[in-house]
A = this chain, B = another copy of it.
Amino acid sequence: MTDNRSPESTAKHAGISGNPPTAGAIPGIVGIGLLGCGNVGGALVELLETEGEDISARTGISPNVRLIGVKNSAKPRPKAVRAEVLTENLMSVIEDARVDVVIELMGGVEPAGTLILEALRRGKPVVTANKELMATRGAELSRAAEQAGVDLLYEAAVGGAIPIIRPLRESLAGERMERLMGIVNGTTNFMLTCMSDDALTYSEALVAAQESGLAEADPSADVDGHDAAAKVAILASIAFGGEVGVERVYREGISQLSPVDIAYARRLGFEVKLLAVAERTHSDDAGVVDIAVRVHPAMVPRSHPLALVRGAFNAVFIEGGAVGELMLYGRGAGGRPTAGAVLGDLIDAVRNLRSGSCGTSGTSSPIRIRPMDDLCSQYYLSMEVLDRPGVLAAVAEVFGRHSVSIRVMEQVGLADEARLVFLTHVAREADVQATMAELDCLEVVERMGGMLRVVSAGEATEEGGWRT
């Protein structure tokens, strides 16, 4: 907020004592130190400028941006960003005595991590939208916040504007979480919507996403599932109360998907979505939480609420023991929606700072992550085969030998070639992978097509593995 009429805060800070500093001595005024001023940062400063009075009337809190740390202070910025608050000395933003709360919107693991730790050490609450950092060093940072007795809030790191972190931490704190499935990357969901509606190829859909400003020139973070993997690592850590690093998330992207497979999926009554899944699995050890965490394209039944999430929207579908099925839906990205989520965290942090409390993250449990090979799911498989007698028998024999039972088979002829499409009963991932490897070597199989895991509405867990 750039309301120059507001008198400056004269807050005294508790330094490194770990006690929260008192908020601005003039009631209402809160000094903000911002790290990073790109898309989201610029939108936040504009939001505080245009809505400042309204925010103050609604919440009794007047955020006042004291300093903005940026890499290049000469770069053009939105009008609301006053040149005099810009600095290239990032640590000075943390150190400034007029800064009560630090908002980190630079992204990347470093120097963001070091700056946040220093802010927490000085008893300053931190709001961040940094999914990469939280997915790799979230546990360490959360412990530092707890030790300092101040908030580290990161609602904007997952699902943009959608309230998802706070409901998981608070509303569902007592809930036995069973499964969480999210469409948490808007770029790939936009591309899949194009591929489904307009039969675009992957490459055409990527160009469409780039032209819409949704995909980067190097789209790898989105299309290879890195972004979704970071987000599901964060969600899984909260939902199952343990430490789930992003490196433990199984990950497949969407670049291998063909419009043919998407069209088949539709004909069978499914939409193809890039799903981020974290679910509780069968466990023999008391006290250990067994989960599976993965990102991959999946076939979602058209009757499932997630199938209806289109374009750049995001949604997280939650299955809990008591609350049953919940879905939280909204804009997963964009400067203004994400800035809205940051603002919500900021107000929460200031309220807690004033009351001398901070959000608790609950207890931490030992988490064991099941290998992907153990997954039990239905599968969609397609392949191009020679159009000659005996082919189906040869193919079916491979399925049978690996205990993969076929539920639906369709054969579609194209000149002297044919495409076979299979939907299996629930099978084990390792068996399906072995089936595919062997089929690929079969003389009658010209080329293996797509493989998609199929989301069920929640059937009984198969022994030794888990459902999807």
Contact = CB atoms under 8 A, between A and B. Distances in A.
Contact of A174 (B173, B241, B347): B347
Interface in A138-170: 155, 161-163, 166-167, 170
Interface stretch (A212-220, A248-256, A336-344, A455-463): A336-344
Contacts of A347: 170, 173-174
Contacts of A337: 322-324
A356 B358 CA distance: 11
B55 A343 contact: no
B322 A174 contact: no
Interface in A289-339: 305, 308, 320-331, 334, 336-337, 339
A49 interface: no
B174 A163 contact: no
Contacts of A175: 340, 343-344
A337 B326 CA distance: 10
Contacts of A173: 58-59, 344, 347-348
A54 interface: yes
Q: How many copies does the complex hold?
A: 2
A171 interface: yes
Q: Count chain B CB atoms within 10 A of each CB in A43, A161, A351 and give the residue with the most.
A: A161
A51 B352 contact: no
A415 interface: no
Contact of A171 (B58, B166, B320, B322): B166
Interface of A: 43, 47, 51, 54-55, 57-61, 155, 161-163, 166-167, 170-176, 241, 287, 305, 308, 320-331, 334, 336-337, 339-341, 343-344, 346-348, 351-352, 355-358, 360, 362-363, 365
